[in-house]
Amino acid sequence: MNKTVVELPAGIDAALGLIAERTGRSCPDLVIEALFAFLDEQRRTDPSLDYPLPLSVGIIADAEVTSENFEDWLKANWRPEEDRGRE
C-alpha cells in the first residue's frame, strides 16, 4: 500500500471525523472506500480507464450484518451475476 497525504477542507475533515466516530471506522478506511467508489464509477462511464480494482475492500460496520448472520445475509443478498465483467 502507498501513502498519500491529502489536505481536506475543514468541513469535510470534520464530517469525516464524525462519521468515523459514529461508525467505529477509521478516517483512512472511509476515504479509501470513497475513492474506490469514485474510481469504479469512472471506469463504468469510461471503459478505456482499465485499471484493476478489487471487488471488495475490507469489512464495513453494519448493524444489520453481524458475525452470527453474515452467511444468511450473503445467501439473501449476494448477486454474483452483477459482478461479472468487473474482474
Alpha-carbon radius of gyration of the chain: 16
DSSP per-residue string spanning 17-57? HHHHHHHT--HHHHHHHHHHHHHHHHHHH-TT------S--
pTM beyond cutoff 0.75: no
Mean pLDDT of 75-84: 65
Whole-number mean pLDDT of the chain?
77
- Placement of cell 469510461 in the chain: 46
pLDDT digits (tens, 9 = 90+) for 19-36: 999 998 889 888 988 888
DSSP 56-67: --S----SS--T
**Tell me, what's the pLDDT at 57?**
47
